[in-house]
Structure 1
Amino acid sequence: MSSNTFLLSIGLPPALASASVHVAETFTTAVSGVSHWRLGNVNMELFKKLILPGVLGAVVGAYILTQIDGNVIKPYISGYLLIMGVVILVKALRKQEEPKEVKDHVSILGAIGGFFDAIGGGGWGPIVTTTLVARGTHPRYTIGSVNASEFFVTFAQSVVFIFTLSSDLLANWQVIVGLLVGGVIAAPVAAVVTKKLPVRTLMAMVGLLIIGLSIRTIYLALI
């Protein structure tokens, strides 16, 4: 999401910015997913429930983005994320509760997350992870499972973007390479941090990050 925001700020159209980010993320999410899996951060049941709905939502969202301006819907997504970020932060500051397993509506959440991830140029992690953690799931396994499933979501989007925006992507290959190199370096580090940090600390960090990014996105959309 932060990468997409930066690309928009330097003048790339929404569809091309999202396409560039997701083509690069095909590689970085593969590294991230493997890293989380090797460190035991992945809940396989949650992982499986997210993949297919996420892919379907992503394909629909990617196609629609090539036809409309995705910036129109961004403030609404950010408003939702801002609320979820506050919920997570409040939970982190309260007396620690036992994490619970959420089983209902996970597939619907995956489809929504995949759709808005394509439309907004990022959001699979923020929407899906934020909602699940706000509902009380364990941050470590939620982050790991969502990151592992993101590869399939990103790959599906990339296929749509490559078929519809191939010439534009080739003309901006430097952007994709830059995002790819930075993401591949950062992904294993993030997986280790997710495993090592205490639950409340991790929740507070996730909450603050989501709040900060959401406020920034809303501000940029309104000015």
Structure 2
Amino acid sequence: MFLNKDGHIFYWMLLTGFLAEIVAGSMGMGYGVICTTILLLLNVPPPVVSASIHSAESFTTAAGSFSHYKLGNVNKKLVWVLFPLAIAGSVIGALTLSHYGEYYAHIVKPIIACYTLYLGLNILRNAFKEKTKDRIKTKKKNQP
């Protein structure tokens, strides 16, 4: 296993997650892209990258989802439509990556690198985009 090769990889992963969360906290996006890029550069296998990022994101996503639910920002009908599809997609993705990820890492890594480059460019474009003053008006909960 890759952890036996380098006993310090955990600390690099911890630092990567911390720095990525600082960026994501300030911009509201980018945690997965930053972590994926850095962990692949550290030669961490794709299944381990995916598992570590998604396990960390589970807690922040759950907290954000609960907050949105309590504030009434959730379309419950849409959630129930997307829920089974999200479960199926996550299970298929996890099984595929865990079964083929290390064997086909030489193919998977360049694809992930291109995809994260695309996402990173979009994040940078959004970060430096000129802010507009026109905001979409939302319907408040207590209005008639």
TM-score (structure 2 length as normaliser): 0.62
Structure 2 contact 45–105 (Cα < 8 Å) conserved: yes
Distance, in Å, in 2 between the alignment partners of 1:143 and 1:181 is 21
- 1:147 corresponds to 2:54: yes
Structure 2 contact 40–49 (Cα < 8 Å) conserved: yes
The structure with the largest alpha-carbon Rg is 2
Q: What corresponds to 2:17 in structure 1?
A: 110
**Within-5 A mapping of 1:1-223:** 102-117=9-24, 120-163=27-70, 166-167=71-72, 169-170=73-74, 172-195=75-98, 196-197=100-101, 198-219=104-125, 222=129
Distance, in Å, in 2 between the alignment partners of 1:178 and 1:126 is 27
Q: Secondary structure at the match of 1:128?
A: helix
Distance, in Å, in 2 between the alignment partners of 1:174 and 1:215 is 33
Q: Secondary structure at the match of 1:137?
A: coil
Structure 2 contact 33–120 (Cα < 8 Å) conserved: no
Unmatched runs of 5 consecutive residues or more in structure 2:
131-144
| Structure ranking higher on relative contact order (CA contacts 8 Å, 6+ apart) | 1
What do you get for the CA RMSD once the two structures are aligned?
Answer: 3.3
Distance, in Å, in 1 between the alignment partners of 2:22 and 2:81 is 25
TM-score (structure 1 length as normaliser): 0.44
Number of residue-to-residue matches in the alignment:
123
Identical residues among aligned pairs (%): 15
AA aligned to 1:182 is L
Structure 2 contact 30–120 (Cα < 8 Å) conserved: no
